[in-house]
Amino acid sequence: MFLKHLHLLNFKNIELAQLELCKGINCLIGSNGTGKTNLLDAIYYMSFCKSFFNPIDSQNIRHDQDFFVVQGTYVLNNEEEHIYCGVKNGVKKQFKRNKKEYEKLSDHIGLLPLVMISPQDERLIVEGSEQRRRYVDGVISQYDKAYLEQLIKYNKVVSQRNIYLKNLKSLNSTAHEMLDIWDYQMIDLGKKIVQARTQFLQELQPVFLETYNFIAEHKEEVEFVYKSHLKDKDFEGVLKNARERDMILGYSTKGVHKDDVDFRIGGFPIKKMGSQGQKKTFLIALKLGQFKFLAIHKKRTPILLLDDIFDKLDSQRGDKLIELVGGECFQQIFITDTQLSRIEPVLKKINKESRIFMVEDGEFRL
């Protein structure tokens, strides 16, 4: 699978761009703020129906305009696939495959597997559990439609339960009966969600470790540990015991919507103990492990987006990363950088077709 042609109109700072892309490595070179990352975000948008950086669609429209268009022609199973997205202020977003509009955006997720590695990934380490859950859910949803539907249903149930809790004055028999209804649905859906998350993380761990050890040359001991209210516990009892606190706070304090994944180095939280290079290596290994995992489950090689990837990596780790992505399992890759002099040696080391675009003020030229 690869992206053959990309057309953008009024997307962020890009007024108009039409790019013919190669199957191998496409490099975007330019100063910060010129539009390199915005182009990667447009490619991400066509896979996930949303921006990697800003989930509010209207804020991705170019300044002083009221719409944007993102279009791509992909080659998938030796056939062309045309993907179109149009967003206009005050109008429902249009997302089409081969000129046919989707009834549900969730039907599109997984068609075009993609992995993006960006400085924004640092949020997975430094911010709260919501970021790590979103990461796990995003990967599983690319290959498991049933999981995505279960997650959507679960979140709706929690939302309804929270509305009820906000207006609840006392835990009388009627309140308990109502909460029993929502709790039953949370338990049923939650068990399936935890099972899928557990299986995914168990399968991801060895691929992640292999990648990390290759880049770091076995210098550090790393791991991640899945934490859930439901894992190895009586979820029904946990929910009932939390009802009084839930009523006081006005929201559901227990459930798989509170799950987390601990990232550790040397047995300690990498957030506190890891250097900048170790954190970046951890995140790169996590995402490249995700890449290999998706390639196996989707039986289709994802597109790989590498945004400002060499920053905060020492030359030794950078060389190992180059050696890794130069392998046959990686096909179409997009790389952004501010320095052409740093990218040219990279391309010489990787035996792949390549194309370099110079970027300035939202314009792209070969």
Closest CA to 332 of 76, 71, 13, 48: 76
CA distances from 234 to 9, 230, 252 (A): 52, 7, 16
- According to the model, what pLDDT value does residue 161 have? 95
pTM, two decimal places: 0.89
Tell me the three state secondary structure of residue 266.
coil
> Distance between CA 273 and CA 188 in Å, rounded?
38
8 Å CB contact between 14 and 39: yes
Q: Which residue has the tokens 């790590």?
A: 132
Q: Which residue has the tokens 């679960």?
A: 154
Q: What is the mean pLDDT of each run of 10 residues along the chain (366 residues)?
A: 96 96 94 94 96 92 95 95 95 95 92 92 93 93 92 96 93 93 94 94 93 85 90 84 94 95 94 89 91 88 90 74 82 91 84 92 91
Tell me the three state secondary structure of residue 63.
coil
Which residues, 6 or more positions from 321, have their beta carbon under 8 angstroms from its beta carbon? 215, 284, 309, 310, 313
CB neighbourhood size of 77 (10 A): 7
8 Å CB contact between 113 and 294: yes
Tell me the three state secondary structure of residue 84.
strand
DSSP letter (8 states) at residue 52: S
- According to the model, what pLDDT value does residue 232 have? 66
> Distance between CA 296 and CA 212 in Å, rounded?
19
- According to the model, what pLDDT value does residue 160 have? 96
Enter the tokens of residue 10. Answer: 């009024």
Angle at 232 between CA 227 and CA 236, to 5 degrees: 100
Angle at 331 between CA 283 and CA 203, to 5 degrees: 45
> Distance between CA 3 and CA 23 in Å, rounded?
7
Which residues, 6 or more positions from 77, have their beta carbon under 8 angstroms from its beta carbon? 1
- According to the model, what pLDDT value does residue 231 have? 74
- According to the model, what pLDDT value does residue 256 have? 94
> Distance between CA 145 and CA 128 in Å, rounded?
26
> Distance between CA 280 and CA 318 in Å, rounded?
11
Q: Which residues pair with 319 in a beta bridge?
A: none
Closest CA to 307 of 41, 14, 13, 21: 41
CA distances from 146 to 113, 198, 238 (A): 17, 16, 26
8 Å CB contact between 334 and 40: yes
CA 75 to chain CA centroid, nearest Å: 22
Domains of the chain and CATH, by start? 1-113+300-366 (3.40.50.300), 127-298 (1.20.1050.90)
Enter the tokens of residue 330. Answer: 């990686």
- According to the model, what pLDDT value does residue 215 have? 87
